[in-house]
Chain A
Amino acid sequence: AQSVTQLDSQVPVFEEAPVELRCNYSSSVSVYLFWYVQYPNQGLQLLLKYLSGSTLVKGINGFEAEFNKSQTSFHLRKPSVHISDTAEYFCAVTHSPTGNQFYFGTGTSLTVIP
């Protein structure tokens, strides 16, 4: 069985400071990894994804994530956050190659403080 753990349920950070949102997964097979963002009263929007190749993945809005197979992690980072980054962030994993089933974490609420 697969599972996704987001270790921090809430992360407050000051504007222009760096942030890291942690995600660990458990899987015995190859995985595809995703980060989604959910702004208030909206659906989920894809930030970035790792399918194969370079382990450092760059996404929208200045976010990036690094796939670390040995640590089964896919942490999300941004060097300088903005007020508009305040949102809920979800890590998700799916199997390769037949990935209908997405497994989501419980989410991390990022609050950027002015």
Chain B
Amino acid sequence: ETGVTQTPRHLVMGMTNKKSLKCEQHLGHNAMYWYKQSAKKPLELMFVYNFKEQTENNSVPSRFSPECPNSSHLFLHLHTLQPEDSALYLCASSQDPSGYEQYFGPGTRLTVT
């Protein structure tokens, strides 16, 4: 596999469920990102990890919990989500913390029922 991969590609979950999104990058990058893409809105940066350490948390509700066990893997743990959390969740990585060129995965389409 090359580039940035995300699993699952589609996820439907109830508001009381717990699920996790997975992202893996095969580019040897040191920084990884989670974005939320909602219709007709700009991409929203959620979290940034540099060298496995979280450096940004853009006021994201605690029902979203990121985890970065190593510089190649990034998870987003989900629990007690709301319908308005339905969106496309994109993972990205970049060579270094400057993030000048970010490489994106295909995204996970999340639907909260």
Q: Which of A34, A42, A44, A100 has the largest count of B CB atoms less than 10 A from its CB? A: A100
Structural contact, B105 and A49, CB atoms closer than 8 A: no
Q: Identify which of residues 63-80 in chain A touch chain B, using a CB-to-CB cut-off of 8 Å.
A: none
- Interface residue tally for chain A (C-beta within 8 Å): 26
Query: Which chain B residue has the least Cβ–Cβ distance from A92?
Result: B43
B102: which A residues are within 8 A, CB to CB? 44, 46, 102
Set A41, A51, A97, A102: member contacting B45, Cβ < 8 A: A102
Q: How far is the CA of A112 from the CA of B40 in the complex (A)?
A: 20
A103: which B residues are within 8 A, CB to CB? 42
Q: Scoring B residues 80 to 102 as 1 if CB is less than 8 Å from chain A, else 0, what string do you get?
A: 00000000001010000111111
* B21 interface residue (CB < 8 Å to A): no
Q: How far is the CA of A98 from the CA of B105 in the complex (A)?
A: 23
Nearest chain B CB to A46 CB, angstrom units: 6
Set A44, A106, A107: member contacting B90, Cβ < 8 A: A44
Known A102-B99, A104-B42; contact A42-B56, beta-carbon cutoff 8 A: no
A105: which B residues are within 8 A, CB to CB? 42
Structural contact, B40 and A106, CB atoms closer than 8 A: yes
* B66 interface residue (CB < 8 Å to A): no
A97: which B residues are within 8 A, CB to CB? 98
Query: Which chain A residue has the least Cβ–Cβ distance from B43?
Result: A104
Known A94-B100, A106-B40; contact A101-B56, beta-carbon cutoff 8 A: yes
Nearest chain B CB to A2 CB, angstrom units: 11
Chain B residues proximal to chain A, CB less than 8 Å? 4, 6, 31, 40-43, 45, 48, 50, 55-56, 90, 92, 97-107
Chain A residues proximal to chain B, CB less than 8 Å? 4, 9, 32, 34, 36, 41-46, 49, 51, 90, 94, 97-107
